[in-house]
Amino acid sequence: MQSNVVILEDLIRAGTKARPGEVHAKRWIVIHETGNVNPTAGAANHAKYIKRLAEQNKQYLSWHYTVDDHQIIRHIPDCEIAWHAGDGRKADGGNMSGIGIEICVNKNSNFRVAVTTASKLVAFLMKKHGLGIDRIRQHHFFSGKNCPFTIRKYDFWDRFLEMCNEEFKQIK
């Protein structure tokens, strides 16, 4: 499979509340936005944040990827559960069977480029894991939270899915 997606590995330590290491089925790709508009809140700083949380070992909070307008960083392998969907241990839920992607919304980032990069990552993951476009869900689907906020606010979800499909068709 050829793709133009470059993923940097910055895995959080296994064996913590944030990354228990439990293997899960891959049924969903769950789209989030960070909600953090701080100018420095790009993917690299979110990677540092999630690692700090994991090392404190106090919270069940994690996700698989963070995407900004410059890079994609993986924090947890796709095959492991992460705590991002707000639905606990529901067997078919976002945590237990989803791959969580956080899109950065920081002020020093180009959100449109970040969304385009996220669509490329989603297409890559669809191909890699044999998932159809019907398996892409908003965080809102699992918990009712208004997330991904900007995509929802500007009614951009259908266009985002189209972008994912267009990218999917480009993968050899």
CA 52 to chain centre: 18
Q: Set out the domains of the chain in order of their start, with CATH numbers.
A: 7-170 (3.40.80.10)
Residue length, the chain? 172
CB 138 within 8 A of CB 147: yes
Which of 133, 139, 129 has its CA nearest to residue 160?
Answer: 133
Percent of residues, the chain, with pLDDT higher than 90: 93
pTM: 0.96
Three-state DSSP at 90 gives coil
pLDDT value, residue 116 = 97
d(CA 89, CA 4): 34
Confidence check: pLDDT of 2 > 70: no
Percent of residues, the chain, with pLDDT higher than 70: 98
In tens, the pLDDT along 59-104 reads 999 999 999 999 999 999 999 999 999 999 998 999 999 999 999 9
